[in-house]
C-alpha cells in the first residue's frame, strides 16, 4: 500500500485533492452559510480524503491492469 502512495502521481493527486477540498469547503460556505465554520472545514477535509482514496483505488486498478497485460504470453 505504501508503495502506491509514494509515486509522483499520488503526490500530485493529493495536492490536487487538498485544493479540491478547499474548493468544496468554500462552496459549502457559499451555499450553507448558517452552519459553523468548523463544519465547512470538516466537509472540505472529508472531500479531500474521499478523493484521495478514490485515486488510490484508481491507481491500483491501473497497475493491476498493466500487470495483467504484461503477463499474457506473446503469440508466436
Residue pLDDT, tens place only, 44-70: 999 999 999 999 999 999 888 877 777
Q: What percent of the chain has pLDDT over 90?
A: 67
- Give the residue carrying C-alpha cell 502512495: 5
Mean pLDDT of 10-37: 96
In a domain, 60, yes or no: yes
Mean model confidence pLDDT for the chain = 89
- 56 in any annotated domain: yes
Domain-located, residue 76? no
Residue 58 forms part of a structural domain? yes
Q: How many folded domains does the chain comprise?
A: 1
- The confidence score (pLDDT) of residue 66 equals 78
**CA 18 to CA 1: how far, in whole Å?**
20
Instruction: Output the pTM of the full model.
Output: 0.80
Assign 33 a pLDDT band (cuts: 50, 70, 90).
very high
Whether 48 is covered by a domain: the verdict is yes
Q: Is residue 73 part of a domain?
A: no
Strands (E), 1-76: none
Q: What are phi and psi of 39, to 5 degrees?
A: -70, -40
Domain interval for residue 33: 2-68
Is 75 a domain residue? no
Amino acid at each position: 500500500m505504501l508503495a502506491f502512495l509514494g509515486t509522483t502521481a499520488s503526490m500530485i493527486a493529493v495536492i490536487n485533492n487538498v485544493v479540491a477540498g478547499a474548493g468544496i469547503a468554500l462552496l459549502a460556505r457559499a451555499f450553507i452559510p448558517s452552519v459553523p465554520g468548523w463544519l465547512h472545514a470538516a466537509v472540505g477535509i472529508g472531500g479531500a480524503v474521499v478523493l484521495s482514496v478514490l485515486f488510490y483505488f484508481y491507481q491500483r486498478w491501473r497497475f493491476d491492469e498493466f500487470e495483467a497485460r504484461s503477463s499474457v504470453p506473446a503469440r508466436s
